[in-house]
Structure 1
Amino acid sequence: MATFNIRQLTQLLAFILSLTLLSLSSGNVQAAPKAELWAFWQPTSGTVQSAVPQFQTWQRFLDTYVKDYADGLNRVDYASVTATDKQQLKQLLNEISAIDPRGWSPAEQKTFWINTYNLAVVSLVLDHYPLESIRDIRLSFKSLFNGGPWEDKYLTVAGQELSLNDIEHRILRPIWPDRRLHFALNCASIGCPNLATDIYQPESLEQQLDAAEQDFLNNNRAVFWQPRSKTLQLSSIFDWYQIDFAGNEVQLLNYLQQQGAVNHEILNDPQLKVSYDYDWNLNIDS
């Protein structure tokens, strides 16, 4: 029976851990969290009203550092962000911590959470830049096994510490079931729907969500037909969150056809194969 000294055992554990991290960070297999309501965030008219933030600082950042390219991908010039602009984003997150949005209108709450999520993601990336992928960020031991910082508590709202997954899966998705949310939330990755160049506004929310949906569906990051192999390559978003789009894959394909993202002839091809893929590389303007 083989015996190990402390040094050898440490090296072995490090090797096993590195293999685990590699499989988590390089693969596209991901079990999406369920939409499970965090009861504290249930909207209520009895909540003391906080002033609705205007997110002007966030809009100025978007105007300055987010650029749209001919390939349909909005890229962020992380390398050019000044220390002052980075600090202003931090200050905005600090101001948000004192806000309680539960008494606002549904549209106000929804836009608040979308803007806050996207702001937090960019601020998180800037905290650790340069890096190749948001999945390289490890804020805690928990991050090692979640393929990135999704479960780490990064910001505070109304006295509650929140993670990115809290916002998406315990507030937005269960309170406002809306498939278009997946096109509005940005995860700082090439495969993700675009980081919008304009903040979301309550009065134009529906139009903005519709535009975000069409913007992504009309890009080959979402739907890419490979005629030689008869393969319809879809974004892994449609795999991870299929339940938000359709009851099964056939219904998902019907949804994509109804949205004009795939034509009838492709879906009727008897040799049709469907695959899913996602590019986790940083959405950097290089």
Structure 2
Amino acid sequence: MNARVRKAIFPVGGLGTRFLPATKAMPKEMLPVVDKPLIQYAVEEAREAGIEEFIFVTGRGKASIEDHFDRSQELEDTLSGRGKTEELQLIADLLAAPGKVCYTRQQEPLGLGHAVWCARNLVGNEPFAVLLADDLVQADTPCLKQMVEAHAPIGGNLVAVMDVPKEHTKRYGILDVVEDNGSLAKAKGLVEKPDPEVAPSTLSIIGRYILQPEVFDELERQERGAGNEIQLTDAMARTIDRIPFHGLRFSGTRFDCGSKAGFLEANIAFALAREDLGNDMADILRRYAPGT
């Protein structure tokens, strides 16, 4: 049995420029899908997958993320005084055990690989997960939990993957596949954002990873890749000759909440799935899009 995945990194240092002006004073990870910020969905997914320690790689202007996962005595006292027990439970559920949440700063926006590398001393010498809050997955079994279960017997590096149209390969890290049973795909390499005509496949990585600590050794080289940034996929690719690498086709629907259209779609999909909002949302859609 391979080592259990206990720690997760949440890179939340990005500027969120695609959502300006909304993100001028608010972290993009705090944008709400219905009534819950994106970063909370990611943390809850990690918790349901058995993650015990939560590591946030932040930057300037991200204090509201720390506040969100901390106690607010004034709010708790107000809710308690008004008998708002359901709301009290909602905010109590946000809290991790003392000492299980930590924050470190990424002083420069040098890419995802650099953000993950900033957490190296907090992770240590054990496998770890990485979750990007921009990628929101709606699934009966949380995406990371599916990955943890798949990872236990095979070990190595594991990423969540999905097939994309060939013309979209230049948006993603793409696997070079040698074996594929329809669920797990074993890769001999991966390429960051290849042009469609040279892409080795259409199997793309989304923002969920389970990685071995050897990836930090590769990130330590601080080599720049696509976009002149330190790419996590490049570091993973350099370990494939000695660490097994697989992609898991997860069950569920992924929403790209880094784009405005994807963010709006996620709000609609999650509202429709809610017992308290589904009927109202369906009525709204019919009003604005007759015939739906």
TM-score over 0.5 for the pair: no
State which structure, 1 or 2, has the greater radius of gyration over its C-alpha atoms: 1
TM-score w.r.t. the length of structure 1 is 0.28
Higher normalized strand content (fraction of residues): 2
